[in-house]
Amino acid sequence: MKTTRQTEARYRQIMEATSEGVLMLDPAFRIVDANRAFLQALGYRMVEIRGRKVSSFYEHNSREFHYASARHLSFEVAFLTKDGRRVFFLYNRSVLQDGQGNTDGYVCFLTDLTELKNIQREKRHLEQRFRYLYENAVQGMFQATLDGRYLSVNPAYARMLGYRPEELLAIEDAGRVIYAHPRERENMLAALEKRGELKDYEQELRRRDGRPLWALANVHKRVDQRGEPVVEGILVDNTARKLAQEKLEKSEQRFRYLAVHDNLTGLFNTRYLYPALDRLVKDSQNSGKPFSLIFIDIDEFKKVVDTHGHLEGSQTLQEVADVIKRSLQEPAFGVSYGGDEFVVVLPDQNKDQALEAARSLRRSMLETVYLAASGRNIRLTASFGIATVPDDAGDVKGVLALADQALFRVKQRGKDGISATVDL
């Protein structure tokens, strides 16, 4: 571990001024230096421990973690003295960085747990001893009043938000300036009041340039030396992970959508249709409620493709699907059944209601001008076949077959019409 003489003197002053054990580790976690308190607690001489890994002195299975990240570690653990006794310490390890942000080593503070009752009384001195860590930590650290005025911020916190530390200290209302949604700070304070401490609390903050900063915060409230309540916290930038998670969720949503929707028309596909009809049949059997099915076939659609090409044919199908979507109200839904065939499912609608729905669809299709954007301006007609459960059939196979037969009957009569199973 390379340090200047001034820094080494500072380390030594800090290390020997405290009753806590202090260790300095190199990047490989080997002991470089230790204060007298640590050596006396374990009964070793410096020459006996220098160069050994600190983990060789404690029982791994006795660790009880308080906090762990890539840059800071805090846990309770049993160290073994030279004569074999177990001494429990609160072990706090933090990363030291050089001027380029590279890991230069680690500083470890070991507090004898029998002295925990004295920690609060020594808080001011402890904060001074941790000032170096505070200024060089990778995590963002802050202290603020309840009304949103910063009392202190470390450089990492300021960098996360794109400010200089002194600029953040000049802000009077962090909730209004720093939080993406000002009420979120009020919500955080309410949760803190209720729970006493927040761990991995997600916050959406706003950088100086307006970009979002998603952070995970460990926050607690305490009373300062003047008896005033303050909020202290450590933040980890979680933006990259949050954005990746949102991207994954959108991909999963898109996958689930495409699993049951036709990619061309946006209508449901047959993978959705058959299970939906199964559910409707069972519901009809249990409740006696009807539902109807309309088969739709575009008349002379092959002429559109032969005349204008497959791309324009696909565009035409999209525009027909748009007409179907606009004509339906939930829970009714449309299905792309294949090619130029469509199915409309009408839950809770009887034969008369289905006939009226088919007439309305037929009018809408006749009134629509297709391929208008490309100047083709074509008109289309369609044939419609209707079947109803339970009037015409009591199962999925039966209602599909009867609706298809009704559609075929229209085709035989000359197309551009509506037929129901009662006509057969």
pLDDT at 281 > cutoff 70 = yes
The string of pLDDT tens digits covering residues 374-416 is 999 999 999 999 999 999 999 999 999 999 999 999 999 999 9
Under 8 Å between Cβ of 42 and 26: no
Q: What is the pLDDT of residue 246?
A: 67
Q: Which residues pair with 78 in a beta bridge?
A: 88
Q: What is the pLDDT of residue 125?
A: 59
Torsion of CA 4, 6, 7, 11, to 10 degrees: 130
Residue 168 to residues 2, 133, 153, 337, 381: CA-CA distances in angstroms?
33, 20, 8, 60, 68
The string of pLDDT tens digits covering residues 332-386 is 999 999 889 999 999 999 999 999 999 999 999 999 999 999 999 999 999 999 9
Number of Cβ within a 10 Å radius of residue 252: 10
The string of pLDDT tens digits covering residues 72-105 is 999 999 899 999 998 888 999 999 888 788 889 9
Domains, the chain, ranges and CATH?
5-133 (3.30.450.20), 139-242 (3.30.450.20), 261-423 (3.30.70.270)
Q: What is the mean pLDDT of residues 176-180?
A: 88
Q: What is the pLDDT of residue 11?
A: 62
> Cα(7)–Cα(14) distance, rounded to whole angstroms?
10
> For residue 120, what pLDDT band results from cuts at 50, 70 and 90?
very low
Residue 40 to residues 20, 22, 23, 24: CA-CA distances in angstroms?
11, 12, 13, 16
Q: What is the pLDDT of residue 181?
A: 85
SS (H, E, C) the chain: CCCCHHHHHHHHHHHHCCCCEEEEECCCCEEEEECHHHHHHHCCCHHHHCCCEHHHHECHHHCEEEEECCCEEEEEEEEECCCCCEEEEEEEEEEEECCCCCEEEEEEEEEEHHHHHHCCCCHHHHHHHCHHHHHHCCCEEEEEECCCCEEEECHHHHHHHCCCHHHHHCCCCHHHHCECCCHHHHHHHHHHHHHCEEEEEEEEEECCCCCEEEEEEEEEEEECCCCCEEEEEEEEECHHHHHHHHHHHHHHHHHHHHHHECCCCCCECHHHHHHHHHHHHHHHHHHCCCEEEEEEEECCHHHHHHHHCHHHHHHHHHHHHHHHHHHCCCCCEEEEEECCEEEEEEECCCHHHHHHHHHHHHHHHHHCCECHHHCCCECCCEEEEEEEECCCCCCHHHHHHHHHHHHHHHHHHCCCCEEEHHHC
Amino acid at 185: R
Percentage of the chain modeled with pLDDT above 90: 52
Under 8 Å between Cβ of 235 and 215: yes
Q: What is the pLDDT of residue 235?
A: 87
pLDDT at 127 > cutoff 60 = no
Amino acid at 77: V
- Give the list of residues 6+ apart from residue 71 with CB closer than 8 angstroms, or none: 94, 95, 137, 138, 139
Q: What is the pLDDT of residue 320?
A: 96
pLDDT at 420 > cutoff 80 = yes
- How would you label 98-114 residue by residue, b for 16+ Cβ within 10 Å and e otherwise? eeeeeebbbbbbbbbee
The string of pLDDT tens digits covering residues 5-58 is 766 676 677 678 888 899 999 999 999 999 999 999 999 999 999 999 999 999
> Cα(154)–Cα(137) distance, rounded to whole angstroms?
8
